[in-house]
């Protein structure tokens, strides 16, 4: 009984070569048949599994050059196969709505080297380093703290204090409360921008 050539498979620089003493399947060729190729059309070999022909390097190259993927297809089938997005409209079986089993869950994903988790932790650590926690457990970003400095408020100021301070500064810097003097317009604009940022911040939600 001949041994399975794939059990002692040895490869060299030609991908797919299986060294063996079998002859090339092309009549008259004495080179070893080391490369698999589909059987000839009309072949009716009666055996289980794929019925391969084994060809030498020159003959498998000749077969590959003459291979036509579209052989036997109708013009419509060829046009459909040549579309740029051919195949993308089909759902992957694992994620199909009628798949036999539900899609995989992220909780099932294994990350033994912590390649994804480490990156996430790094981003969280950086975000925390750029922020500051208040006594109520809410974080203030660097921009939040800069806006509080503009408003002249401590980091633990609440929403009520923010509104009161905003009203106070509007009256201080607005031209209508300074006899038309526009010398504080830059300060007024800074206060308005700081308030708009803080009122939407998580710490003042």
pLDDT tens digits along 172-194: 888 887 778 888 888 989 999 99
Residue 203: other Cβ atoms inside 10 A = 24
Return the ∠ at Cα 107 (arms to 101 and 112), rounded to 5°.
Answer: 120
Q: How many whole angstroms separate alpha carbon 168 and alpha carbon 97?
A: 59
Residue 199 maps to which CATH number? 1.10.287.110
Does residue 195 form part of some domain? Answer: yes
Q: Report how many domains make up the chain.
A: 2
Q: How many whole angstroms separate alpha carbon 20 and alpha carbon 193?
A: 79
Does residue 123 form part of some domain? Answer: yes
123 and 67 within one domain = no
What's the pLDDT at 66? 79
Does residue 85 form part of some domain? Answer: no
Q: How many whole angstroms separate alpha carbon 186 and alpha carbon 144?
A: 19
Helix, strand, coil shares of the chain, percent, nearest 5, are 40, 5, 55
Q: How many whole angstroms separate alpha carbon 178 and alpha carbon 188?
A: 12
* Domain enclosing residue 142, as ranges: 114-204
Q: How many whole angstroms separate alpha carbon 4 and alpha carbon 98?
A: 39
Rounded to an integer, the average pLDDT of 32-46 is 74
The answer on pLDDT for 10 being more than 60 is: no
Among the listed ranges 22-31, 54-63, 129-138, 160-169, which one has the minimum average pLDDT value? 129-138
Is the model more confident about 100 or about 202? 202
What's the pLDDT at 6? 46
Does residue 107 form part of some domain? Answer: no
What's the pLDDT at 161? 92
What's the pLDDT at 203? 81
Q: How many whole angstroms separate alpha carbon 18 and alpha carbon 6?
A: 7
What's the pLDDT at 192? 92
Is the model more confident about 9 or about 120? 120
Question: Contacts for 173-182 with beta carbons within 8 Å, 24 or more apart?
Answer: none
């Amino acid at each position: 009984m001949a041994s399975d050539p794939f059990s002692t498979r040895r490869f060299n620089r030609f991908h797919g070569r299986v060294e063996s003493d079998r002859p090339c399947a092309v009549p008259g060729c004495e080179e070893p048949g080391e490369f698999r190729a589909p059987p000839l059309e009309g072949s009716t070999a009666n055996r289980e599994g794929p019925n391969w022909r084994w060809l030498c390097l020159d003959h498998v190259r000749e077969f590959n050059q003459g291979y036509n993927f579209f052989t036997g297809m109708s013009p419509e089938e060829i046009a459909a196969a040549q579309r740029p997005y051919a195949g993308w409209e089909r759902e992957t079986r694992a994620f199909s709505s009628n798949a036999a089993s539900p899609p995989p869950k992220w909780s099932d994903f294994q990350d033994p080297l912590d390649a994804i988790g480490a990156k996430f932790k790094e981003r969280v650590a950086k975000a925390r380093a750029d922020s500051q926690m208040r006594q109520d457990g809410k974080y203030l970003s660097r921009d939040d703290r800069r806006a509080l400095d503009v408003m002249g408020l401590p980091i633990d100021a609440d929403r009520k204090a923010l509104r009161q301070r905003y009203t106070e500064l509007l009256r201080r810097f607005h031209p209508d409360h300074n006899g038309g003097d526009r010398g504080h317009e830059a300060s007024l604009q800074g206060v308005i921008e700081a308030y708009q940022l803080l009122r939407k911040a998580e710490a003042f939600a």
